[in-house]
Every structure is written in structure tokens, then in C-alpha cells.
Structure 1
Amino acid sequence: MNAVLYILVVVIWGTTWIAIAMQQGPVAVSVSIFWRFAVACAVLWPVMLMTRRLKSMRKADHLFCLLQGCCVFGFNFFCFYHAAAWITSGLESVIFSMAVLFNAVNSFLFFGQRPAPRFYAAALLGLVGMVVLFWDDVVGQTLSMTLLAGIGLSALGTYGFSLGNMISARHQKRGLDTLTTNSWAMLYGTLVMGATGLFSGSHFMPEWDTRYISALLYLGVFGSVIAFGAYFTLVGRIGPANAAWSTLLFPLVALAISTVFENYQWKSNAVIGLILILAGNLVMFVPVNKLRAGLRLKSA
């Protein structure tokens, strides 16, 4: 069962990036995000109510759920959707994989948890990997403000996602039910994106074509309900550290799809950069002593 859940998380979240790219077009970003999570809420909330899984919370907890919704189900995707117009979906997923480093920094800022010594090696690998990944654009003639904007927005969205993780950690420290807080956060994020679309004067209807609607349903049902449900079930069964290993595989799936559908070109610097970034994430997940022990076992 754990293997099935793990595969579901990797495959679904690894493919949502191309679905986001498929929603590029005349519909305002805030409106696309609103409809995505409106679909997800329409599936999730009836299940929560019928199964009586929804727990009561204090007003202060609802306020934090509102903040979590803005970070995880709102403005982070606002950044990702805009970035998708300027960089490929595969590269977005690679930048998103740096969330583990942002989590380490934010855990120190908000909870006083000092990063493990391996954090600095992981951060160095990740930053060098990012430079190498985009090296041709940096030194060549293709560097542009739109590329920089795409990279910056992806990083900003990833940091927003990390802030949402910190709020989730706050919920857990207070013993709040994860499904309840996520349900409220998703609902609040949906409403905030809807209000953003209305106040900006955007046309509020989705694009009624097969490409857009299929991407919307996939993101709403599979990317937002099934994948989140599978991930949090996995967290409960094998623990958050082991479940987080799935983030190492997201970029591989996303880049493979980007190669087929977006004609992403695999150059030597891209391969080396991706390896360095994944190695940085691996260092964060596995303490050095465990890596050494594994190497000793293999050499014995």
C-alpha cells in the first residue's frame, strides 16, 4: 500500500506542472487558481462533512488557516502560473524542489531550530546546481528579463509554499487535525483567489475548451485532492521525513514530460545542474553518517 501511495504522489505531482502550463491563455491567473481549488473543495468538503472528519477550531486557528491558504493554495500558485509563461514546467519543478532548503531556513526563523551542519553543504550544492542549470542563458544571448522573472517567481512561490509548511507545523504543535486545517486552508485560499479576480476586474469564466478544462479537472481532482490525500496518508504511515523523499523524484517526472511536450533541450549543463540540485536535496534528507554507513555496507 505504501508503494502505491508513493507512486501516486510522485506521478501526480510530477505531472501537475505541465497541466499548469496548459492553462496559459486568456483566463486570468487568479481566476484559473480559483476554479482549480473550487473544484477541489467541491470534492473534498462533502467527503469531510459526510464522514464527520471536520473538527472544531478556535478563531485564532482559522486566522492561521487563512494565512496557510494564501501561502499554499493561493499566492504561491499565483507565482507559479505566471512563471509558466516564461520558463518550462520542468524547470519550475526543479526550482520547487529547493523547498526543503527554504524549510530549513524558515524553521530557524520561526521556531529557532538551527539547521543541521549538512544544510550548508546542501545549500551550496543547490545554489551551484541552479547556476549551472541556467548557465547557457546566463553567459549566452538568451538571458532576458522574462527568464529572470520566471526564475524569481518560481523561487518566490516556493518560499510561499515553505511558509505554508511552517503554519502547518504550528497547527501540528497545537494538536490540530491535519485534514481539518488543510480543508479550511484550501477553502480560504479559494475565496482569496476569487476575491483577487473580482477586484482586478478579470473575466470570471474559465476557457471552455478541452485543453483548459481537462487541465483544470486534473489539477483540481488529482493534483489537489487525491495527491494531497495520498501524501498525508503516507506521512501518517511512514513519517514526514520518508514521505518527503518523493520530492526528489518530482523534477525527473516533470522534466521528462517537458522534454516530450515542451521540447526541453537536455544539454550537458542541464544534466549536471539537475544532479547537483538533487544531490543537495539528498544531503538534506540523509545525514552524513547514514550515507557513510551505507557506503561501508556496499564496500563490505
Structure 2
Amino acid sequence: MNTFLYFITVLIWGTTWLAIAFQVGETPVPVSVGWRFALASIALFAILAFQRKLVPLSKENHKMAALLALCLFSNNFLCFYAATHYFPSGLIAVVFSLAPILNALNLWWLEKRTPNRTFMQGAVMGFVGVVLMFASQFFSAAMDMNILLGLGISLVGTYFFSMGNLVSAKAQQKAMPLLPTTAWAMGYGALYLFAISLIMGHSLTFSTDTLYVSALVYLAIIGSVVGFNTYLALVGRIGAPKAAYCTVLFPLVALSLSTVFEGYEWTWTSLIGVVLVVSGNLRVFGLPEPIKRWYLARQ
């Protein structure tokens, strides 16, 4: 079951980065993200009601749902959507793949789990890999602060996601119901984003362009309802650090799509950068269990 959840999550989230790029433009970012999670929340509540699994939550549950909303269903995506203004979506997925390293840093900071030498080696490899992925922009004559701004925004979004991992793991350790908590968290995230939109003076209407609407539905139903719940189920089953293995493979899917649809151009430095990012994560955490079992089965 863990293997199935793992690869479904990789496939879904590896494709959502391109769909995010299709949403950026006419509709303000907070409005786009808000409608994504509003639709996702409504769909998930409807599924739970149909299955008669819509249970009431305790005050503690709602607090956890609110924290998840801030980390996983609002602020992180405000950053990711905004970053697509500065570089291809596949590069954002590369930055996002540093989530396992940020998870370990958070455990060091919050739970005093001191990282070992292996972790430090992997963290350095991952950081150098990200720098190499952006090397062509760094050394370009057209380089400006926008690239650094986009990179910084992506890192902030990834950190929010990492904190959400820890919140979800804590919630599931307390036997909180996964799907109802997620449905409320998405709803809270949507309300938070709509409030931000109104404060900024944005209308809550969104583009009716076919590509935009298709991306919105895909992100709300497949990317959010299915993708997040398979991922959070993995967090509950195998823990946040191991579940974050999924992010190691996201860039390979996302960059492949970015090459075809966004014209991302590969260079030797970007290729070496991807290898270092993936290798750095694997250095920290080792090979994922599904890949280990697949390899041993072939021996």
C-alpha cells in the first residue's frame, strides 16, 4: 500500500507545477489559490458525506486544521504561484525537493535531534545543486534581482510546506481523523486566502479561459483532494521524513513537462544540479523503501 501511495503522489504532484503555471496571469494569485482549495474542500466534504464518514472535530482538531491551512493550503502556495512569475515551474519543483532537508532541520530546531555528518554532506550537496540549477540565470547579462526574489520566495514556500509536514505528523500521532481534518484545513485555507484577496482589493471572480479552468479543476480535485490525501496518508504511515522522499522525484517529472510546455532549456550545469539535489536527498535519507524492494526483487 505504501508503494502505491508513494508513486501516485509523485505522479500527481510532479504534474501540478505545470498546472500552476497555467493559472498565473489574469487572475490574482490569492484568488486562484483560494478557489483551488475552496473547490477541493467542497469536493472532499461531499465525498465524506456520501461515504458517511463526516465526523465532528474537537477543538484540538480544529486548531490543527487551522495550522495545516496556514502551512499546506495557503501561504506555501502563495509563494509557489508567485515564483512562477520569475522562472519555469520545473525549477520551483527543484527548490521544493529540498523539503526533506528542511524537515530534518526543523526536527533539529524543534526537537533537538542533532544532524549527523551524513546529513550535513547531503544538505551541502542539495544546496549546491540548487545553485547550479540557477547558474545560467546567475551568470547571464540579463540577470536581475527578480531571479533571486523568485528563488527566495520558493524557499519560503518550501519551508511552510516542511512545517506543515510536522503539524500533520503530530495530528495523526494523536489519532485525528485524516480526511475530515484535511477537508476543514482546506476550507480554512480558502477563507484565509479570500480574506487576503478582499483586503488587497481583488474581486473573487476568476478567469473563464478554458486552460485556466481546466488547470483549476485538475489542481483542486487531482492535485489537492487526491494528491494531498495520499501524501498525508504516507506521512501518517511512515513519518514525515520518509514521506518527503516523494519530493526527490518531483523535479524529474516537473522539469520534463517544463521542457515540453514552457521551453525550459537544459545546460550541463542544470543537469549536474538536478543530480546533486537528488543525490543530496538520498545521501541524507538513503533509498526509499519502494525502490529498495524493487531492486532486491530483481536480484
| 2:71 partner amino acid | C
For the 8 Å contact 2:108–2:115, the answer to whether it is kept is yes
Q: What is the CA–CA distance in structure 2 between the aligned matches of 1:5 and 1:207, rounded to whole Å? A: 33
Q: Equivalent residue for 1:93?
A: 93
The offset of 1:143, in angstroms, is 1.9
The offset of 1:276, in angstroms, is 0.5
* Deviates further, 241-250 or 25-34: 241-250
Q: Equivalent residue for 2:136?
A: 136
* Deviates further, 108-117 or 26-35: 108-117
Q: What is the CA–CA distance in structure 2 between the aligned matches of 1:106 and 1:87, rounded to whole Å? A: 27
The offset of 1:206, in angstroms, is 1.0
Residue by residue over 1:29-69, the C-alpha shift from the partner in whole angstroms, topping out at 9 and shown as x without a partner, is: 11000111111112101222333434444324422321220
Q: Equivalent residue for 2:209?
A: 209
Q: Equivalent residue for 2:36?
A: 36
| SS of 2:207 mapped into structure 1 | coil
Residue by residue over 1:215-261, the C-alpha shift from the partner in whole angstroms, topping out at 9 and shown as x without a partner, is: 00010011001122333445566666654432221100000000001
| SS of 1:249 mapped into structure 2 | helix
The offset of 1:85, in angstroms, is 0.9
For the 8 Å contact 1:27–1:203, the answer to whether it is kept is no
| 1:188 partner amino acid | Y
Residues 123 and 231 of structure 1: CA distance in aligned 2, closer, same or farther (over 3 Å): same
| 2:281 partner amino acid | N
Q: What is the CA–CA distance in structure 2 between the aligned matches of 1:179 and 1:111, rounded to whole Å? A: 27
Please say if 1:197 is aligned against 2:183.
no
Q: What is the CA–CA distance in structure 1 between the aligned matches of 2:199 and 2:181, rounded to whole Å? A: 27
Q: Equivalent residue for 1:67?
A: 67
For the 8 Å contact 2:98–2:247, the answer to whether it is kept is no
| SS of 1:109 mapped into structure 2 | helix
The offset of 1:286, in angstroms, is 1.3
Q: Equivalent residue for 2:280?
A: 280
Q: Report how many residues are paired.
A: 292
Please say if 1:153 is aligned against 2:140.
no
| SS of 1:208 mapped into structure 2 | coil
RMSD, matched Cα:
2.5
Q: Equivalent residue for 2:105?
A: 105
For the 8 Å contact 2:9–2:246, the answer to whether it is kept is yes
**Residue segments in structure 2 that go unaligned for 5+ positions in a row:** none
* Deviates further, 223-232 or 81-90: 223-232
The offset of 1:107, in angstroms, is 1.4
Q: What is the CA–CA distance in structure 2 between the aligned matches of 1:234 and 1:100, rounded to whole Å? A: 14
Q: Equivalent residue for 2:247?
A: 247
Percent identity among equivalent residues? Answer: 43
| 2:165 partner amino acid | N
| SS of 2:260 mapped into structure 1 | helix
The offset of 1:112, in angstroms, is 2.5
TM-score (norm 1): 0.89
Q: Equivalent residue for 2:219?
A: 219
* Deviates further, 120-129 or 130-139: 130-139
For the 8 Å contact 1:12–1:227, the answer to whether it is kept is yes
TM-score (norm 2): 0.89
The offset of 1:180, in angstroms, is 2.9
Residue by residue over 1:104-146, the C-alpha shift from the partner in whole angstroms, topping out at 9 and shown as x without a partner, is: 1111222223334321111110111112222222233132111
Residues 230 and 64 of structure 1: CA distance in aligned 2, closer, same or farther (over 3 Å): closer
Q: Equivalent residue for 1:256?
A: 256
Residues 16 and 116 of structure 1: CA distance in aligned 2, closer, same or farther (over 3 Å): same
* Deviates further, 211-220 or 142-151: 142-151
